[in-house]
Chains A and B, each alone.
Chain A
Amino acid sequence: AQSVAQPEDQVNVAEGNPLTVKCTYSVSGNPYLFWYVQYPNRGLQFLLKYITGDNLVKGSYGFEAEFNKSQTSFHLKKPSALVSDSALYFCAVRDVGGSSASKIIFGSGTRLSIRP
């Protein structure tokens, strides 16, 4: 069965500094990986995804993520954080090679707080 872990409940970064939000996954087949952001009292908004190809994928709002197969990780990064990036971030995985190829599992979320 697939699983995804976000080891940090909260990440605190000063505005202008680089940020990283960590995600690791476990699948039996090949992973499709996703990052979503949630603002208070709202649904989830898509940031980026890795399906195939380049390990570094670029997404919305200046975010990017690097797929690392050997470390089974898909960390979200941004070179220079903004206060407006403060939100709840979710990593998700779909195991396209597994027995339940349409199943998509989300992590527990990481709250990102950017201080001015």
Chain B
Amino acid sequence: NAGVTQTPKFQVLKTGQSMTLQCAQDMNHNSMYWYRQDPGMGLRLIYYSASEGTTDKGEVPNGYNVSRLNKREFSLRLESAAPSQTSVYFCASRSSSNPGHSLRGGNTIYFGEGSWLTVV
């Protein structure tokens, strides 16, 4: 059971280069998310996809684009990387709207292991 898988785990980019972070989940979840984590800033939502075919901006979407390729995959693209985009990126997916138990079941968010991106 792989859960949420994101690649690459580590990447160094030069300013102005482009790259795509890939994310896939095997739990048949409708909703998927991309967050970035910076020291003292917590997790900030970049983009999310409530369901296949839809994407919406989060708190910090500037400089990023996303594609919900199918129900399993949600990619994040940096068209022209900047040093301010140096961060750890997390992909996540969310189970169904069934509320579920407090410890399991619906509405639990599952995270990937993170992608460390450095822009020099």
By a beta-carbon cutoff of 8 Å, the part of chain A in contact with chain B is 6, 9, 32, 34, 36, 41-46, 48-52, 57-60, 90, 92, 94, 100-109
Q: Among B42-50, B63-71, B78-86, which stretch is in contact with chain A?
A: B42-50
Which of B45, B102, B112 makes the CB contact (< 8 A) with A43?
Answer: B112
Residues in A whose Cβ lies below 8 Å from that of B107:
32, 49, 51, 94
14 new A-B contacts, CB < 8 A, other than A42-B114, A51-B107, A94-B107, are: A32-B107, A34-B109, A43-B112, A43-B114, A44-B90, A46-B109, A51-B100, A51-B106, A52-B99, A100-B56, A102-B48, A102-B50, A106-B45, A108-B40
- Separation of A37 and B33 alpha carbons in the complex (Å): 18
Residues in B whose Cβ lies below 8 Å from that of A43:
90, 111-114
- Separation of A50 and B100 alpha carbons in the complex (Å): 10
Residues of B in contact, count (CB < 8 Å) = 30
A-B contact count (CB 8 A): 75
By a beta-carbon cutoff of 8 Å, the part of chain B in contact with chain A is 31, 33, 35, 40-45, 48, 50, 56, 58-59, 90, 92, 94, 99-100, 102-103, 106-114
- Separation of A57 and B50 alpha carbons in the complex (Å): 26
Which of B40, B103, B111 makes the CB contact (< 8 A) with A9?
Answer: B40
Residues in B whose Cβ lies below 8 Å from that of A44:
43, 90, 92, 109, 111
In the assembled complex, the CB of B87 is this many whole angstroms from the nearest CB of chain A, namely: 14
Residues in B whose Cβ lies below 8 Å from that of A103:
45, 48, 56, 58
